[in-house]
Structure 1
């Protein structure tokens, strides 16, 4: 039976029950009045008044008023000459009408709230399920259209189904229910759903306990997102493999070129020709250094960003560097974590190595942080010669710098993956000062 037919059948039953109760109540009171019973039987009018005002709240007031007037008209002939009976009849009629009005008003307010929540339930872009705990286990009591579509089913077909039919692994429900019982609510629970066509769907699930013991589940379909992530991962893996092959071939070609240049310098004594070979060798060395640097960054963006303890990242970065005996590294970033690409250690190793290589008079590098209104700043400062004003922005461009290095360019690219920025704000002649800006949702103090 469809929902429309069920609604029509229920409407017919309500009208029958309401009509029957009105007839029975009037008949009982007529018999009572003829029998001299005028105190108990009028209370039977509360039954049709409550039913009518609750089932048809917009007609509840005239319906209850009609019953009150009917009772009054029925009672008046028996109250003639009996003042007290007349007062009782009028008082009861007023109470009947008042009760009908109050129940109609309360029911209308309740229906408005029900319609509001029903609208949210039915029109939500998330799949929503109401789960009831029955004697034979948890069952789906209600499901909206989005939730039913997510499972390849209909709302009617899902009603009464065991909750375990949602999950590809039935044990997931027991684990989820244990978390709900412990915490009351669960957010961001990623799971695999089982569709009626035999397929599966990935979903992000949230759940909470309702009054009365029920559970509300909301499911957001992330199948397309997961498929896109997997496609992107495979594409990145292929590009990474291509990068490795290209790096290997390019490095081999540069090595052969350098060997040929060296052999040429041994064979020819002409000064002009040797100067040409030396310039060619320097250019080849630049290409070789860039090849070596790009090898370190071929995995950039391959792994997803994660929360990283900055102090540990710096310790790991400095352990791989050759720090001159006259240079000290001090980092004061304990308890700070940032959401960054796994290659964050290359950022700090580049900045420290850049200070040692180009700072000339550097004796110390200090790393600190400061919480700002718009996020957080990490400072990497040294006491070297600093950066000239005209180079403060250019040093982050591709290919700028002595020796053809790419360190600062790639440093900016690594940070940009998680919306961090970097700039140089030091004073020339007093030292370099690199400022890494972290957005408000990109850091935490543990």
Structure 2
């Protein structure tokens, strides 16, 4: 685990211990020499030397020399004129100084490495904490994390993981992921703050060689609240749209009914022509209102990873293929797209069946390149004229197709996917969905070969 910086209180405690150990060594030296015991007392001077080297490595050399001089001075002052004792004392003096220099050198190197680690740990702009994987007690925390959940760092040392993540299911899921994977990233976790409020955070965690687990925390509470507020606003707007659309469609149904009755009671060809135009306009309004029902759901929910083969299968399940043979050859891949991706495949397949005129087969396949993937939906129908290839994706283009292709392009554009038509007129239509490298990934398994017969 990373080394905590020595606090002022702890430094004072170390200084007291150093002074106490020096006094104790001096007292032991006095009584040892008085009793004629010359072999034990020098070892007691190692205690202040080690304490100085650990707590004040920059002063370690000077402190060691002073302790050594204190030792040799006591021996020469208290000891009897004994050349052997003086010689041993001089040797010990050089041992103390050499040992102090050695310990000081290693201590300063260790302290520098520790300060680098501490700097990254305690001064990180992200919250950081660690806990014991066995007891779940909080072992350490930086100020950023403590401020995030409104605790003092020292108070956090008295807490455990269940205190900070009170939801048992959420906590167990978090712990299990770390235990199984040993290293996880960007897990959404709710922490309980000092005042009882909940704070959302993205947590990355990694086990160390010691009993502890180090976690980095990024506060996303404000983003979560904004997202929830936006979601609620969208729900209210969609509810208003649904109610308004329902009322307009009811009125349009009544209007179309009265227009039909008017046509039956009118014999004047001039008036019948006007009534037909009015009916056509009302139907156009009805189609546009129904279009808003489909379009309002685009982008409402966050994009997600879709298994392409499963998505195509779901789209095929809701289409009447008539006498068309459909062959699907898709590798085991997932693409990142809006939840309405299924509707894209539905629109492309339905468009081929409805407007290909003599379509007998539709092939759905893929082509992978170095940095992209193309998903291809092609048929053997009449195809699309060159001058219409781009127009069919425009909202203004309307040829008994509704707004399906326009909607499909909008759905794909949310995650930077594109769709274009590249078929040869007279030989069939070919729609290519282009997926950039960052928006698809391979999954386990083999390619999916599926044939749906009429």
| Shorter-chain TM band | 0.7 to 0.9
Whole-angstrom CA distance in 1 between matches of 2:221 and 2:11: 42
Cα shift at 1:332: 1.0
Which moves more between the two structures, 167-176 or 435-444?
Answer: 167-176
> With structure 2 as the length reference, what TM-score do the two structures score?
0.81
Cα shift at 1:84: 12
Cα shift at 1:420: 1.9
Whole-angstrom CA distance in 1 between matches of 2:116 and 2:248: 66
Stretches of structure 1 lacking an aligned partner (at least 5 in a row) = 1-5
Give the match for residue 281 of structure 2: 283
Cα shift at 1:368: 0.8
Q: In structure 2, which of residues 409, 412, 415 is the aligned counterpart of residue 415 of structure 1?
A: 412
Q: In structure 1, which of residues 316, 323, 328 is the aligned counterpart of residue 321 of structure 2?
A: 323
Whole-angstrom CA distance in 2 between matches of 1:10 and 1:152: 24
Give the match for residue 309 of structure 1: 307
Stretches of structure 2 lacking an aligned partner (at least 5 in a row) = 1-5, 444-454
Two-structure CA RMSD over aligned residues (Å): 3.6
**Residues 138-184 of structure 1: CA distance to partner in whole angstroms, max 9, x if unpaired?**
43333322322333332233332344322333575566445544544
Of the two structures, which has the highest relative contact order with CA contacts closer than 8 Å and spacing of 6 or more?
2
Residue 195 in 1 paired to residue 193 in 2? Answer: yes
Whole-angstrom CA distance in 2 between matches of 1:102 and 1:351: 77
Q: In structure 2, which of residues 399, 404, 410 is the aligned counterpart of residue 402 of structure 1?
A: 399
Residue 250 in 1 paired to residue 248 in 2? Answer: yes
Equivalent runs, 1:222-371 vs 2, <5 Å:
222-325=220-323, 327-371=324-368
Whole-angstrom CA distance in 2 between matches of 1:178 and 1:365: 46
Structure 2 CA distance for partners of 1:11 and 1:340, relative to 1, 3 Å: closer
CA contact (8 A) 1:79 1:85 kept: no
**Residues 196-227 of structure 1: CA distance to partner in whole angstroms, max 9, x if unpaired?**
32333333444444444233344433333332
Whole-angstrom CA distance in 2 between matches of 1:274 and 1:172: 68
Q: What count of residue pairs does the alignment treat as equivalent?
A: 437
Give the match for residue 167 of structure 1: 165
Whole-angstrom CA distance in 2 between matches of 1:170 and 1:50: 46
CA contact (8 A) 1:180 1:186 kept: yes
CA contact (8 A) 1:286 1:404 kept: no
Cα shift at 1:102: 2.2
Secondary structure, aligned partner of 2:400: helix
Whole-angstrom CA distance in 1 between matches of 2:399 and 2:168: 62
Equivalent runs, 1:136-215 vs 2, <5 Å:
138-169=136-167, 173=171, 176-177=174-175, 179-215=177-213
Whole-angstrom CA distance in 2 between matches of 1:312 and 1:16: 71
Whole-angstrom CA distance in 2 between matches of 1:375 and 1:440: 5
Residue 126 in 1 paired to residue 126 in 2? Answer: yes
> With structure 1 as the length reference, what TM-score do the two structures score?
0.82
